[in-house]
Amino acid sequence: MRLLRRLLKYLVVLIVALLLGAGVLLWGSLAKLDGDSIAGVAKPVLIERDALGTATLAADNRRDLAWGLGYVHAQERYFQMDLLRRSAAGELAELFGDQALPLDRRHRQHRFRARAAIALAQLPAEQLDLLDAYRDGANAGLAELRVRPWEYLLLRQSPAAWTREDSALVIYAMYFDLNRDGANKRELNLARLKASVPPPLYDFLIQPGSPWDAPLRGEVLPAAALPGPEVIDLRRLPTATPAQTTAVARLDDDVVGQLPGSNNFAVAGSLTGNGAALVADDMHLTLRVPNIWYRARLRYPDPTQAGGTVDLNGLTLPGTPALVAGSNGHIAWGFTNSYGDWTDWVRVQIDPADPTRYRTPQGWEKLQRHAEVLRSGSAPGETLLIDETRWGPITARDVDGTPLALAWTAHQPRALNLQLLHLETARDVTQALAIAPTMGMPVQNFVVGDSAGHIGWTLTGNALPRRQGFDASQPADWSEDGKGWSGWVDVADYPRLLDPPNARLWSANARTIDGDWLALQGDGGYDLGARQRQIRDDLLARTQFAPADLLAVQLDDRAEFLAPWHALLAQTLAANDDADLAELKRLSARWSGRAGVDAVDYTLVREFRQQTIAAVLAPFEALVKQHYSEFELPPAQSYEATVWTLLQQKPLHLLASQHADWNALLLAAARSTVAALTQDGTPLARASWGSRNVARIRHPLSRALPGFLGRWLDMPAEALPGDSNMPRVQGPDFGASQRFAIAPGHEAESYLMMPGGQSGHPLSPFHGAGHADWVQGKPTPLLPGTTVHQLRLLPPQP
């Protein structure tokens, strides 16, 4: 017994020692918040933090500010910076092993590390100088940590130094996020669909608009004609097998559900109490710990005005030296994803006599073959061979097997620069609208307002291709003269709106324009217009606005879009006395009309919609799967209009043969609704929206840890209101990565909230700071609060 007690004592001591050692290592990787540090700056840089961890950096010049921002980002966010650069470069397996190889293969074929070097070589010297300053600051911040960031300890890895190319890769990572991962699967599936169904049916399924559209310019587009039985008669076709149809869950997420996007809207000063414009923005992205954005206030002498100070408040993107969205005191700006067409498939005609050559308008040209080595961990991995044409890399094959090269605006050197920095000193909307089309970044809707009350909209991104001679929705042969991209849209020709007559602007990833402007932008798979229309209607319902009124729009979880579906469900169940549908009938009778956490009716109607759409579209998808087993319905906002036309007109020839009539289809969808919501044994009465829409905002490594440790890293699993197709976009791990409303010149009246907090370190006081405000919809002030930490970066003594 004495020996056993002694062994237990030693075991306890060992466990305590291990825990203390782990704690010391964790503590050593915390950012330095106070004191002085010798830095590579010309003049001192002051870094102050408030209780939320919002960093205020004050410097005597923009270069020192970039150095300081790199230092701060690296101290608190180096692992997140590393993930972004590695994701874009296709190098994640070096950290995570073989499980990351599939993503690395997809991304490495774009060779963005090599493209980054080419793009950077064309930047002006002052932009390169800022990137170098940021790089040096980031490496100094990393080196000054007493212990490398804790994530690398867990992975048993060491972080590689930051380079200027890495900052470019962070921008390319945003291209992947905002341009459907650069895969252009949508147009591949459009090609398969077009090759499999009659043209009138294709036009009916893939319509250019819907009655929900609410563009800034133009009207609702006319609906496509209903195909007659002479075009197709589903009653004469065999019933689709389960293998030929797509699961409802995929329809929900990709076809009629959530897409990376944003809400962005503004009202002119004529509608505000202080005469300044009000700009609201919430960018919808995958939510993680820490948040993708880093809150900051940046101050330095204004190089355009003697004695002036540039005072920036808003969001920075760790890995880059600029303020992404926010205010400079004169203007406030934000973005939404444009969903224009920024990728095209080019049919590559290979020389039958020499498979290393392909046809161009000037004759045969050699394919450029690149060998990229994918490494998993520290060991050499596989070699990826990439054949590249003048138009882009060959990454797919057409319906007839012809190789397809991907022409993607992101591949162009002009698609990357730091022109965004010029917004820091813009004085008014007119200047900002002139800057936006020169910025090398993904093409976005850009909404801006100024302190004098003006508002404006345009597109960002200086790589809008001019297309000629081909259908941009389908693969095309560019080896003939007069087909392909013929150059780039001039800045003067960009679509632009300044001070619209109704004093309001809005965008929410749906179609915003028409006519010749729409032809320039193209259609990359717009979101359904329901959310955009609800925002527009919310804005038109008021004549005076304060920041709180824009927050009310951002938090609007009314399910106006589902009201017709509720009416349809009620009509379907009204004359039905089946016992298996009685509970559905009772629970859905009362319509709250909101995606609230306690709403059961919302869950029921939402699921009924999904089941109905799946049932209606399944036979059309099956038609294509007979020829192309990998086919998936491409994301298209038109399905809502297509399905409603069928439900209202009830054409028997477009109804799958297993249903006797359209009412039978609806009753089957109602039964599928009950089955789907009760399959886990949960009673239908407990199918509240909050029980399904539970936050899963997690640190990337938390899944690798035991449950209690993983929960320590993650945000609480709370029920969240909101959903897609309404202003308050919210899923378990998707939604508003920030919300702000800013009156330029009146920043003290403005707010900025974001989930996940400033720091991903579980011991940091800023881990999860501000997250509760975001969950509750409570406006966190835009301006930093009282300083609680102060750090000085000092130049080396001579």
Token pair for 559: 């399910």
**What's 505's DSSP letter?**
E
What's the chain's average pLDDT?
A: 94
Residues 6+ apart with CB under 8 A from 122: 413, 414
pLDDT (average), residues 586-595: 96
Give catalytic residue positions: 262
- 3-state DSSP call for residue 257? coil
HEC string of 325-343?
A: EEECCCEEEEEEECCCCCE
pLDDT of 15 reads 43
* Distance in angstroms (rounded) separating the CA atoms of residues 377 and 98: 8
With bands split at pLDDT 50, 70 and 90, how would you rate the model's confidence at 6? low
Give the percent of the chain with pLDDT over 90. 90
88, 315 Cβ separation under 8 angstroms? no
Instruction: Give the range among 172-181, 329-338, 574-583 with minimum mean pLDDT.
Output: 574-583
Handedness of CA 244, 247, 250, 251 (dihedral sign): positive
pLDDT (average), residues 89-98: 95
With bands split at pLDDT 50, 70 and 90, how would you rate the model's confidence at 237? confident
Structural domains of the chain in order of their starting residue, each with its CATH number = 182-256+560-593+600-687 (no CATH), 262-342+414-554 (3.60.20.10), 344-411 (2.30.120.10)
**What's 180's DSSP letter?**
G
With bands split at pLDDT 50, 70 and 90, how would you rate the model's confidence at 412? very high
φ and ψ at 693, to 5 degrees? -95, 70
Does the annotation place 50 within a ligand binding site?
no
- Is the pLDDT at 19 greater than 50? The verdict is no
pLDDT of 446 reads 99
Does the annotation place 181 within a ligand binding site?
no
- 3-state DSSP call for residue 552? helix
With bands split at pLDDT 50, 70 and 90, how would you rate the model's confidence at 25? confident
Tens-place pLDDT, residues 524-574 = 999 999 999 999 999 999 999 999 999 999 999 999 999 999 999 999 999
Residue predicted with more confidence, 92 or 22: 92
Longest dimension (CA), the chain: 93
* Distance in angstroms (rounded) separating the CA atoms of residues 151 and 701: 8
Closest residue by Cα to residue 509 from 89, 214, 182, 168: 214
Token pair for 320: 């880059």
- 3-state DSSP call for residue 192? helix
φ and ψ at 180, to 5 degrees? 55, 45
608, 673 Cβ separation under 8 angstroms? yes
329, 753 Cβ separation under 8 angstroms? no
- Is the pLDDT at 699 greater than 90? The verdict is yes
* Distance in angstroms (rounded) separating the CA atoms of residues 38 and 46: 12
Measured from the Cβ of residue 5, the count of other Cβ atoms closer than 10 Å reads 9
pLDDT (average), residues 283-304: 97
* Distance in angstroms (rounded) separating the CA atoms of residues 225 and 223: 7
Handedness of CA 679, 685, 689, 692 (dihedral sign): negative
With bands split at pLDDT 50, 70 and 90, how would you rate the model's confidence at 258? low
Residues 6+ apart with CB under 8 A from 105: 90, 374, 384
* Distance in angstroms (rounded) separating the CA atoms of residues 194 and 96: 40
pLDDT of 381 reads 80
Token pair for 151: 């994530």
Residue predicted with more confidence, 637 or 467: 467
Does the annotation place 341 within a ligand binding site?
yes
Exposed/middle/buried for residue 299 (C-beta within 10 Å: 0-12, 13-18, 19+): middle
617, 639 Cβ separation under 8 angstroms? yes
Tens-place pLDDT, residues 259-271 = 667 999 999 999 9
With bands split at pLDDT 50, 70 and 90, how would you rate the model's confidence at 251? low
**What's 59's DSSP letter?**
-
Residues 6+ apart with CB under 8 A from 222: none
Label residue 493 left, alpha or beta by phi (over 0 means left) and psi (-120 to 50 means alpha): alpha
- 3-state DSSP call for residue 305? coil
pLDDT of 256 reads 45
pLDDT of 250 reads 43
Residue predicted with more confidence, 654 or 23: 654
Residue predicted with more confidence, 14 or 439: 439
pLDDT of 377 reads 75
pLDDT (average), residues 568-581: 94
Bridge partners of residue 372, in order along the sequence: 384
Bridge partners of residue 315, in order along the sequence: 295, 325
- 3-state DSSP call for residue 203? helix
pLDDT of 709 reads 83
Tens-place pLDDT, residues 749-759 = 999 999 999 99
Residue predicted with more confidence, 21 or 28: 28
What interhelical angle do 164-178 and 125-144 show, nearest 10?
Answer: 100
φ and ψ at 638, to 5 degrees? -80, -15
With bands split at pLDDT 50, 70 and 90, how would you rate the model's confidence at 242? low
Q: What pairing do the DSSP bridges indicate for beta strands 789-794 and 35-38?
A: parallel
What pTM, to 2 d.p., does this model score? 0.95
Tens-place pLDDT, residues 598-622 = 999 999 999 999 999 999 999 999 9
The label of the residue with tokens 């306690």 reads 598
* Distance in angstroms (rounded) separating the CA atoms of residues 693 and 625: 32
Task: Find the length of the chain.
Answer: 798
Report the chain's C-alpha Rg in angstroms.
28
Give the percent of the chain with pLDDT over 70. 94
Q: What pairing do the DSSP bridges indicate for beta strands 294-301 and 55-58?
A: parallel
pLDDT of 11 reads 42
Residue 479: alpha-carbon gap to chain centroid? 34
Instruction: Give the range among 11-25, 130-144, 511-525, 705-719 with minimum mean pLDDT.
Output: 11-25
With bands split at pLDDT 50, 70 and 90, how would you rate the model's confidence at 82? very high
pLDDT of 255 reads 47
Token pair for 752: 């900025």
